[in-house]
Chain A
Amino acid sequence: MFGNFDFQAIVRGWHALIFEGLAFTLEVTFLAMIGGTILGTVLAMMRLSSIKPLAWFSGAYVNLLRSVPLVMVIFWFYFMAPYIGAWIIGAERPVQVGAFASALITFILFEACYYCEIMRAGIQSIPAGQANAGYALGFSYWQVMRLVILPQAFRNMLPVLLTQTIVLFQDVSLVYIISLPDFVTIASKIAQRDNRLVEMYLFVAVVYFALCLALSYVVRRLRARLTIIR
């Protein structure tokens, strides 16, 4: 299998692999992390809200999406998005939703469930006295959240949020099934064109491994630093 390992295949392809494939994967990861964290935080606040319908909706949403494999969600959303879009804006015919937008929205909606659970734990980890102190100073609910609870919850949960982001970074490879030009898809195209499967998939695996290892090292360092501050 490694007898005719051709390093040149990687040398020839690495530019496209890194600057198109990996760049795309990182872009989706980054945008989905931002969007997912924001939506997840909103969902967490809803879930902890004393307004029952909001809490119920958030709980149902999170439980539903977490019970479906991500591949199915990507697949379904890719085919459903044009119809959902048409339904939302009231158009007669299905709307054009690009594959990129479709994938990004899917990741935001899906990852928000996990970020929601993390932020919920983060919010609940802040003693009730902190909120009371905020209210006693005359803060509104939103001010208590924005100025007192969320900054602390976010800081406490940063390592876990980043760990989830590492998972997201790996999950982005699933856009392979809708042929988006991510790291894995580009590698597989080159692999098939040049008939260099081993070289390409090995290269991709090594890069994923190196990046995830480096990131989890960063998370470990961060965790240690945050515990000292607290």
Chain B
Amino acid sequence: MEKDEKTDEKAPPMILLDKVGKHYGNFRVLSGCSMQVAKGEVVVVCGPSGSGKSTLIKCVNGLEPFQEGEIFVNGVSVGAASTDLSKLRSHVGMVFQNFELFPHMTILENLTIAQIKVIKRDKAEAEQRAVELLHRVGLRIHATRFPGQLSGGQQQRVAIARALAMDPICMLFDEPTSALDPEMISEVLDVMTELAQDGMTMMCVTHEMGFAKRVAHRVAFIDQGEIVEDVSKDEFFDHPRSERAAQFLSRILHH
């Protein structure tokens, strides 16, 4: 906890949410959500289903609009009308629950298309970077295949590589293992763990408490659209402050 506060003082946070609120008509999805992710920090966001955690992480890169509060990514306001959202998103990597690889492109094209079209790398350079990253996630031999020919776990590793190809300053993970068969979860978590150890700033919505215990610096617990706890990992698992977090933990850890 002390260590975290020190890093906060040194540099402005990579991701800063300030009293973020969102509603659909009368239906409240998020209210007063404040949290931050410092540079190099790994924060796991967890909570019961329907609590708004997926919506929250989609607000961070502007995929979901929000009505109240502010979000800053590397000092840039996400909600401001003057912000070039495409530019902001191009260096915020995102990994989705359902992988969302482009099924009509080969794995290599999936990794190069945004490099070429968005940050204007030339094709050879983009391909070199893509092959490098495929090698890193252990899928180099699959470069010429199509996403449909790969297993779920392999597709998700490609999706992570696709995000990394843009040299992101931080990564958002939206339940990256929820759509996977149990035996494929670890291969994806291994890639994420490695990424965290390399110092990547990560905000992860996940139910993988083992991953949170091993890798996270802090855990934010969200319930009914409110961030109930935002504490260090050890504190969260050993002494959850709120009743709701304690209940959630007992349900998820002792089933």
Contacts and interface: CB of A to CB of B under 8 A. Distances in A.
Contacts of A135: 63, 85-86, 89
B94 A143 contact: no
A151 interface: yes
B104 A133 contact: no
A136 interface: yes
A136 B61 contact: yes
A130 B91 CA distance: 18
Contacts of B58: 132
A228 to B, nearest CB: 10
A147 B118 CA distance: 12
A133 B118 contact: no
Contacts of B162: 137
A148 B101 CA distance: 10
Interface residues of A, number: 20
5 contacts: A129-B96, A135-B89, A137-B118, A138-B166, A147-B102
B104 A152 contact: yes
B103 A152 contact: yes
B75 interface: no
B102 A148 contact: yes
Contact of B100 (A129, A140, A143): A129
Interface of B: 58, 61, 63, 85-87, 89-94, 96, 98, 100-104, 113-114, 117-119, 148, 162-163, 166
B104 A137 contact: no
A69 interface: no
B89 A137 contact: yes
A155 interface: yes
**7 closest residue pairs by CB, A with B:** A138-B90, A133-B100, A137-B114, A136-B94, A138-B118, A129-B100, A138-B89
B164 to A, nearest CB: 12
Contacts of A138: 86-87, 89-91, 114, 118-119, 166
A139 interface: yes
Nearest to A140: B86
A136 B89 contact: yes
Contacts of A93: none
A132 B104 contact: no
A229 B89 CA distance: 31
Quick one: which of B58, B90, B101, B102 has the most chain A CB within 10 A? B102
A133 B89 contact: no
Nearest to B119: A138
Nearest to B98: A129
B90 A137 contact: yes
A168 B92 CA distance: 47
Contact of B103 (A132, A136, A230): A230
B86 A139 contact: yes
A230 B147 CA distance: 10
A104 B169 CA distance: 53
Given A129-B98, A130-B102, A138-B91, 9 more contacts: A135-B89, A136-B96, A136-B163, A137-B113, A138-B118, A139-B117, A143-B117, A155-B104, A230-B148
B130 to A, nearest CB: 13
A136 B57 CA distance: 12
Interface in A116-163: 127, 129-130, 132-140, 143, 147-148, 151-152, 155
Contacts of A127: 98, 100
Contacts of A134: 102
Nearest to A137: B114
Nearest to A155: B104
B61 A151 contact: no
A132 B114 contact: no
B86 A136 contact: no
Nearest to B94: A136
B63 A147 contact: no
B100 A139 contact: no
A157 B224 CA distance: 41
Contacts of A139: 86, 114, 117-118
Contact of B104 (A140, A143, A151): A151
Nearest to B115: A137
Contacts of A137: 89-90, 113-114, 118, 162-163, 166
A136 to B, nearest CB: 4
